[in-house]
Amino acid sequence: MNESDKDLMNRYIYEVIRRVPGAQKEEITMELKELIEDMYDNGEGDMEAVLTKLGDPKKFAAKYRDESRYIISPEYYDNYMWVLKVVLLSVLFSIVVSAFVQLITRESGFSNIMLALFGNILSAGVGAFGAVTLVFAFLERQKVKVEFHEEKEWTVNSLTENSNEEKKNWTPGLLQPVPDKRALISRGEALAELVFTMIFIGLLLFAPYLFGAYVFDEGKLVRTIPIFNLDQWSRILPFMVISIMIGFVDEIVKLLAGCYCTLVMICNLICGFLQIIFVIVMFKVLDIWNPKFIQDITSTFDIRFSSKGDLFYYYGTGFFSNVLLAIICGAIVLEMGTTIYKTLRYGRIKMN
């Protein structure tokens, strides 16, 4: 075997092993070297003929890999693509809106705004893509476990038998009843919540000043008086985004399940509970509200919130915050209640 044959062989081996899992690379290299040398020495032709006989290294490598490996399996793929599109479009929408508002208020030059627009689209697009993929990849792995868990029904036999083998056996008894129509979760419902969530996140990220009072001068928007405490924004934002993302995960679980069932209920309860904790932290620990909001409003619009009937009279006092907190927590608890009700009343439950 001359040098150029050896080189060709090494190239072939490299093309195979760079596609197989790390732990197997070394041994497969040795195996292939043995095989190719044997074929060559046995007079199956020159190196080119030998390698042609072995065929495309990609296909060779595929046979060495164990089964298929995915981030998102075909089972989840359609839903994944769908959510991805919704999320990307929503994020795009909120970025464009924030750029538009900046254009109107002329906070900075046209070219700067355009530059920021494209930068934001790029970074948010990549971020949103990553987030959606991460959530699905996580659910993909969890769902498998959940299903395994659900299929395992306890019998006396499982004390003696190897339960690992038992729970993989499919029997018609495992077929679940077709869900009640009232337990179905419509795609439209999930779509609306996803779009709302993503636009809300997008605006919080790119244009938090949009939440507030709008100051117009001769019919033109001059600036806004933000209701949130933007000085502390870098501390507050992560809590907001995480808390909304928890809701996002919950939505996706509902979408994948397609109907109210034990999994959806448990997930909803956990997510709701976490969200309540986050909301309480935001309202009680972090200074979420702009402390100068009232001051700014009264001086700009020349009005006073002195009457006790005015909601803004209570702004900045603990009362205002508490009422909002109660409303948000109430909404979350209501959602949890609805889920529990629909699941127990119409949904699929396994009692074991």
- In the complex, the residues that contact other proteins under the rule CB under 8 A are 24, 30-32, 34-35, 37-39, 42, 53-55, 59-60, 63-64, 66
CB of 49 to other proteins, least distance (A): 13
Complex with other proteins: residue 53 or 85, whichever CB lies closer: 53
CB of 31 to other proteins, least distance (A): 6
CB of 64 to other proteins, least distance (A): 5
Give the angle subtended at the CA of 228 by the CAs of 226 and 230, to the nearest 5°. 85
Complex with other proteins: residue 59 or 220, whichever CB lies closer: 59
Complex with other proteins: residue 60 or 248, whichever CB lies closer: 60
Complex with other proteins: residue 35 or 144, whichever CB lies closer: 35
DSSP secondary structure string for all residues of 219-264 = TEEEEEEESB-GGGHHHHHHHHHHHHHHHHHHHHHHHHH-B-BHHH
CB of 7 to other proteins, least distance (A): 19
CB of 70 to other proteins, least distance (A): 20
Q: Which residues of 334-348 are buried (b: 16+ CB within 10 A; e: fewer)?
A: ebbeebeebbeebbb
Rg (C-alpha) for the chain, rounded Å, is 29
- Residue pair 343/276 in contact by the 8 Å Cβ criterion: no
Complex with other proteins: residue 44 or 161, whichever CB lies closer: 44
Taking residue 150's Cβ as centre, other Cβ atoms within 10 Å add up to 17
d(CA 146, CA 167): 12
